[in-house]
Amino acid sequence: MIEGWRWYGELDRITLPEIAQTGAASIVTALHEIEYGAVWPREVIARRKAQIREAGFGWTVVESLPIHERIKRGEGDLSGLFASYRQSMANLAAEGIKVICYNFMPLLDWTRTDLTAPVRRGGTCLRFSVHKMAALELYMVERPGAEADYAEDVKVAAKAWFDAASDTERDGLVTAIMAGLPGAYPRYDAVGLKEALAPYRGLDREALRANYKRFLDEVIPAAEELGLSFGVHPDDPPRDLLGLPRIVSTADDIGWILSACDSRANGLTLCTGSLGANPVNDVPAIARRFAEKIPFAHLRNVTRDPDGSFEEAAHLQGDTDMPAVIDALLREEARRRSAGRLDADIVFRPDHGHELLGDAARRAHPGYPLIGRMRGLAELRGVIAGLQFRAPAA
């Protein structure tokens, strides 16, 4: 497996020389400064690749080549947006990029309600609290129909939090929810978020699936011709939010996506944290079931609460059996090698991480501290080494 590290380019407070000290071999990045829907120019991709190479890294995975919201909504004439997306794909392929990670979450990317929840032995982590999300929907955005989406005890807790929260705490909740949007993407306050939801009115699961199928039909044939592999990132969290459907949340969802466009280029970014936040998901089983379609992996762990809340755990703690997941990926790599494939190695990165020691002072992108992720990478590296050197089965 190839050790990767997510880097936000010039927007990142962590430098490439610092990343080199973690031992990671491959940078996972994107042109976050380019607005959604615009073509990624080849010369800009080439400059970024040269910068990464000069620092001693490879660059084979883009995360992400974002999908314009009009495509997700199926709104208007989309031919220009699809053409631009395919041109960006061609420019990436021309510079030797092999894997494109993307998601199909409407409006929001990964979503948390707390960016600095305390960790028992010190440090902080990302957290998603169901009652705070309910407070946002019920009392700040005032989404029609939100009452039906939450249990009574959650609504009681939401009202108590809202009544006790200061304006600063309420604003902080919205800021946390917006933090998952990378790069050139608008952020909203509560009023703006309410307005941003309006164009999605009436977008149900079936409609979003139809729009997703069209996206796959438009880009996967081109990916095949260009030698690219696509890996869809699961929904984070794997549940409907703000009345918007999430359609990449379970093993059945993944099965539908991979069969909707039957191609080796149509694959899965295995995110153990996103999938692990849904108690119905057996993440090691998902890794084994879809192993041949996994070009890229995010390895992290979460601890779930009974009400559906969860928080980021240390990489080898939490509710997902991480060694079992890694074992599935290593076995898939071995299968690929035995089949003579040149792309046998799976790039992975330590996803998210606790803010530890001096991380907080650096003020890196939420969820992406230096020391916390380095700890996670070291732990994952140890599991991989242990499994690689295990005694052969009798």
Lowest mean pLDDT among 78-82, 194-198, 219-223, 291-295: 194-198
**Are residue 162 and residue 248 in the same domain, yes or no?**
no
DSSP-assigned beta bridge partners for residue 271: 298
Please pick, among 32, 68, 315, 352, the residue that the annotation labels catalytic: 352
Quick check: is 351 catalytic?
Answer: yes
Please report the pLDDT score of residue 394 as a whole number.
39
Residue 236 lies inside a defined structural domain of this protein = yes
> Any catalytic annotation for residue 354?
no
User: Which position among 235, 236, 351, 359 bears the catalytic label?
Assistant: 351
* Interacting residues of 241 by C-beta distance below 8 A, sequence separation 6+: 108, 111, 133
- Tokens found for residue 32: 């976050």
**CATH number of the domain that 297 lies in?**
3.20.20.150
Q: What is the largest CA-CA distance in the chain?
A: 64
Report pTM: 0.95
Work out the average pLDDT over 220-238: 97
Residue 6: predicted pLDDT? 98
Final residue of a domain: which of 159, 189, 219? 189
275 with 384, same domain: the answer is: yes
Catalytic residue among 188, 200, 212, 368: 368
Region 273-297: mean pLDDT is 98
d(CA 249, CA 247): 6
Q: Is the pLDDT of residue 393 over 50?
A: no
**Is the link from the previous residue into 249 a cis peptide, with omega within 30 of 0?**
no
Average pLDDT over residues 5-9: 96
Tokens of 49: 């690749």
Residue 322 has pLDDT above 80, yes or no: yes
- For residues 258 and 268, give the distance between their C-alpha atoms in angstroms, rounded to a whole number: 8
Residue among 233, 236, 354, 359 flagged as catalytic:
233
Q: What pLDDT band is residue 389 in, cutting at 50, 70 and 90?
A: confident
pLDDT in tens, 303-320: 999 999 999 999 999 999
| Separation CA 355–CA 378 (nearest Å) | 15
Q: What is the share, in percent, of the chain residues with pLDDT greater than 70?
A: 97
Is residue 207 a part of any domain in this protein? yes
Please pick, among 271, 327, 354, 359, the residue that the annotation labels catalytic: 271
In this structure, is residue 132 part of a structural domain?
A: yes
Query: Is 315 designated active site?
Result: no
Two tokens, residue 172? 């902080």
Answer yes or no: are the C-beta atoms of 322 and 303 closer than 8 Å. Answer: no
**158 plus 272 within the same structural domain:** no
Given the residues 298, 315, 327, 359, select the one marked as catalytic.
298
Same domain, 234 and 349: yes
Pairing between strand 229-232 and 266-271? parallel
Whether 298 sits among the annotated catalytic residues: the reply is yes
Does residue 152 lie in a domain region?
Answer: yes
Same domain, 277 and 355: yes
CA distances from 383 to 194, 270, 373 (A): 45, 17, 15
Q: Which residues contact 301 (CB under 8 A, 6 or more apart)?
A: 272, 273, 276, 312, 313, 314, 315, 316, 317, 318, 319, 320, 322
Annotation says 125 is catalytic: no
Domain that holds residue 39: 2-109+199-388
> What is the tens place of the pLDDT at every residue in 104-153?
999 988 999 999 999 999 999 999 999 999 999 999 999 999 999 999 99
- Rounded to an integer, the average pLDDT of 228-248 is 96
Whether 394 is in a domain gets the answer: no
User: What is the pLDDT, as a whole number, of residue 216?
Assistant: 98
> Is pLDDT of 201 > 70?
yes
Overall domain count for the chain: 2
- Residue 393: inside a domain: no
Q: 44, 5 in Cβ contact below 8 A? A: no
Same domain, 105 and 140: no
The per-residue pLDDT for range 334-366, each reduced to its tens digit, is 999 999 998 899 999 999 999 999 999 999 999
Is there a single domain that holds both residue 313 and residue 287?
yes
Residue 187 scores a pLDDT above 80: no
Residue 262 appears among annotated catalytic residues: no
159 lies in the same domain as 85: no
Mean per-residue pLDDT, 265-288:
98
pLDDT of residue 343: 86
141-150 residues labelled b (16+ CB within 10 A) or e (exposed)? bebeebeebb
